[in-house]
C-alpha cells in the first residue's frame, strides 16, 4: 500500500503519472486473479457490499433468486428477490445468489455442485465468497464477490469476479465502464499483497485445536469451516454472553457483525431451522488471520468457565 500511495494518480488519466498508476493497477488485478485462481475478469470495488450491488443490480437477468441464509447486504442489494427453494423453474432470465460460507454458522454451501446444474438451465450463479476467498478454493460460479479485509487486506477494497463482462450491463465510468468512482490503487495493491502472503495458511493447526475445544457447544449445520463458530450456551442469553465476554477482552457477536448491534433474533439461524430458544443463547465467534494461539487458548478457558 505504501508503494501505491507513493505512485498514486488517477489510473484513468492519460498523463505519465496516470499511466504509471494504471500499470500498477493492472498488475494488482493480475496478481489477484492469479492468487484466487480466477480466469475471468476482475472489477475492483469498495468492498463486498458494493460488488453485490453491481452484480445483483446489473446482471443480464430479469429474475433474482437468493438463498434464505444470505448476508443482509444481498437482501439490501436485491430487495425484490425471491427466496430459493430448489423447486423453481430456472432459465436464462434468472440470477441465483448462494453464498459459499455462511457468516454466522460457518456452514459451507455446495455452490460448485449447483453450478453445473444451473449452467445447463441457462441460469446465472452468483456466490458471495467474502467469508471464503483467500481461505478456500473459490466455487465454479459465474460471478464471485470478495472483500479484502476478510483475509488480512485493507478495509475499503473488494472485487466482483465475473466470468465474462457480457453478463453485466455497463453504466460507464471506471473499471471498463462497470463501476463509478476512481479506482483505489493502494487498496488494490494491498489486496493483492495480502492474498500472496497467504497468512491464513499458517494458522490451520491452531484452528483445529480450537474447534475441538468448543465442539460440545457448537451448532453443527452441515459441513463447516474451522474459523466461524456458532456457540450455544446451556442457559445464558446471547446478550449476557456478549457483555461477559467483552468484559473479559473478547470481541464476539450475536448474528452477523454488520447487524449484531441490534441484538435482534438472527434471521439466518431461523432460516437454518434453529429453535428460537436455542438461537437466543447463541453467539458468533470468528477467527482472523492474526488470531494468536494464546488468544484461542484464553478464549477456550473463558468459555469453559462460563459453561
With cell 467474502, the residue in question is 130
- What pLDDT is stored for residue 303 in this prediction? 95
Exposed (0-12), middle (13-18) or buried (19+): which is 64, by Cβ within 10 Å? buried
- What pLDDT is stored for residue 127 in this prediction? 98
Q: What is the mean pLDDT of residues 77-89?
A: 85
| H helices present in the chain, as ranges | 2-6, 16-36, 48-58, 72-77, 111-121, 185-197, 204-213, 238-247, 267-271, 276-279, 293-306
- What pLDDT is stored for residue 91 in this prediction? 78
Mean pLDDT of the chain: 93
Q: What proportions of the chain, in percent to the nearest 5, are helix, strand and coil?
A: 45, 15, 40
- What pLDDT is stored for residue 79 in this prediction? 96
Q: Is-contact 175 43, C-beta < 8 A?
A: yes
The catalytic site residues sit at 258
At how many degrees (to 10) do helices 185-197 and 16-36 cross?
30
CA angle 128, 133, 138 (to 5 degrees): 80
Q: Which of 100, 94, 99 is nearest to 81 (CA)?
A: 94
Q: Is-contact 269 230, C-beta < 8 A?
A: yes
Question: In this model, does residue 209 exceed pLDDT 90?
Answer: no
- The model's confidence at residue 262, banded by pLDDT at 50, 70 and 90, is low
pTM (2 decimals)? 0.93
Q: What is the mean pLDDT of residues 93-101?
A: 95
Exposed (0-12), middle (13-18) or buried (19+): which is 6, by Cβ within 10 Å? exposed
- What pLDDT is stored for residue 87 in this prediction? 65
With cell 478464549, the residue in question is 299
Sheet of 82-83, strand order: 41-45, 158-162, 143-147, 124-128, 94-97, 63-66, 82-83
- The model's confidence at residue 261, banded by pLDDT at 50, 70 and 90, is low
Q: Which of 275, 271, 288, 301 is nearest to 74 (CA)?
A: 271
Rounded CA gap, 104 and 161, in Å? 23
Q: What percent of the chain lies above the pLDDT cut of 90?
A: 82
- The model's confidence at residue 199, banded by pLDDT at 50, 70 and 90, is confident
Mean pLDDT is lowest, of 62-66, 102-106, 263-267, 291-295, for: 263-267
Rounded CA gap, 295 and 174, in Å? 42
270 or 207, greater pLDDT? 270
- What pLDDT is stored for residue 129 in this prediction? 98
Amino acid at each position: 500500500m505504501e508503494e501505491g500511495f507513493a505512485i498514486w494518480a488517477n489510473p484513468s488519466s492519460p498523463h505519465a503519472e496516470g499511466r504509471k498508476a494504471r500499470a500498477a493497477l493492472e498488475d494488482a488485478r493480475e496478481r489477484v486473479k492469479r492468487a484466487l485462481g480466477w480466469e475471468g475478469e476482475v472489477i475492483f470495488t469498495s468492498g463486498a457490499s458494493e460488488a453485490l450491488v453491481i452484480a445483483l443490480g446489473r446482471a443480464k437477468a430479469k429474475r433474482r433468486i437468493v438463498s434464505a441464509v444470505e448476508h443482509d447486504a444481498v437482501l439490501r442489494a436485491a430487495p425484490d428477490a425471491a427466496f430459493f427453494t430448489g423447486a423453481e423453474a430456472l432459465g436464462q432470465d434468472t440470477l441465483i445468489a448462494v453464498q459459499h460460507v455462511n457468516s454466522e454458522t460457518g456452514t459451507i454451501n455446495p455452490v460448485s455442485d449447483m453450478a453445473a446444474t444451473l449452467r445447463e438451465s441457462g441460469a446465472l450463479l452468483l456466490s458471495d465468497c467474502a467469508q471464503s476467498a483467500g481461505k478456500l478454493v473459490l466455487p465454479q460460479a459465474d460471478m464471485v464477490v470478495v472483500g479484502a479485509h476478510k483475509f488480512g487486506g485493507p478495509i475499503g477494497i473488494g472485487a466482483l469476479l465475473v466470468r465474462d463482462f457480457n453478463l453485466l450491463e455497463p453504466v460507464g465510468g471506471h473499471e471498463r465502464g462497470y463501476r463509478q468512482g476512481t479506482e483505489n490503487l493502494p487498496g488494490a495493491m494491498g489486496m493483492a499483497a495480502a492474498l500472496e502472503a497467504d497468512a491464513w495458511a499458517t494458522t490451520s493447526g491452531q484452528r483445529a485445536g480450537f474447534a475441538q475445544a468448543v465442539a460440545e457447544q457448537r451448532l453443527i449445520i452441515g459441513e463447516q469451516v474451522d474459523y466461524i463458530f456458532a456457540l450455544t450456551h446451556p442457559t445464558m442469553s446471547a446478550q449476557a454472553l456478549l457483555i461477559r465476554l467483552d468484559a473479559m477482552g473478547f470481541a464476539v457477536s450475536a448474528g452477523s457483525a454488520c447487524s449484531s448491534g441490534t441484538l435482534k433474533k438472527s434471521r439466518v439461524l431461523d432460516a437454518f431451522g434453529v429453535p428460537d430458544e436455542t438461537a437466543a443463547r447463541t453467539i458468533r465467534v470468528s477467527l482472523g488471520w492474526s488470531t494468536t494461539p494464546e488468544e484461542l487458548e484464553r478464549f477456550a478457558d473463558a468459555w469453559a468457565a462460563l459453561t
